[in-house]
Amino acid sequence: MPTHRLRVTRRALADLRLGKIYYGLSAEELEDEHDLLGSFVKNRTEQPYGTQATQRVRPKCFNLHTRDPWRGITWYDATHDICWLVGATSQHDYGLFEERSLNDEIRPTAEDYADLELFSQEKEDAFIDLVVAQAPELMALALSQPNTEHRMALAGAVDTGVFVEVLVVPGEGTIEEVFVSFQLPPVPGTQVPSDFCEAIFWLLAPDAQEGEVDRDVGHHPRPGGKRPGEIIYRWRKA
């Protein structure tokens, strides 16, 4: 009997013109809301892979058809045993998915994984307490050993890296840029609250000012650069 779950990303919901009230619902709860969602449940319940791979899209996805003109693509997260509807188009526009792939916008986001399990306030407080206890150690280590990435699974759930890049600016001395990266998905078997990347960043960098922070940065100074499925914040220390 199949054990995998069927879920829909926020981006795919937006493609289908479905709003916030649908966040976190299973595909089975959504199947009557759109023909493509009905097709998703019908064609991915028994097994999470399709028969036609989506061309020029990474990670590997499979095409999902329903009555014209709607098309979608699905991705199987084997780590969490979840098949995701990650995008939809009403114009047979597979070029949309190719463009998203180039921008690393296919995989579910941090918010999508947080939507899987609605956190109680008690659980969220416990998560934050663990991060508060661990974050100073990770940041202090990175500041003491610049130009080297240091990683920790904060709260046992979020693989987090801190890299302090020291740059020499002629006539101005040195400046520091702090890169904080979050690798998605979260650690298997764990739960995370909504907006957890934002919360963790500010607990790691409580002295940062809003104007010094860039979100969703497209590069990382480590060898090999940004990794697939990674969310990066950059703090330009004043």
The pLDDT tens digits of the residues spanning 98-142 come to 999 999 999 999 889 888 865 567 778 888 999 999 999 999 999
**pLDDT higher than threshold 70 for residue 192:** yes
User: For 168, phi and psi rounded to 5 degrees?
Assistant: -95, 120
Domain extent listing, the chain? 5-108, 121-236
Q: Is 129 helix (H, G, I), strand (E, B) or coil?
A: helix
Fold assignment, 5-108: YaeB-like fold (3.30.2310)
Provide the 8-state DSSP code for 31. Answer: G
pLDDT band of residue 56 (cuts 50, 70, 90) is: very high
Helix axes 196-204, 121-144, angle to 10 degrees: 40
Residues of the chain above pLDDT 70, percent: 98
Residue with token string 């990303």: 9
| pLDDT at residue 210, rounded to an integer | 94
Neighbouring C-beta atoms of residue 11, cutoff 10 Å? 20
**pLDDT higher than threshold 80 for residue 191:** no
Q: How many CA atoms lie within 13 A of 187 on its CB side?
A: 10
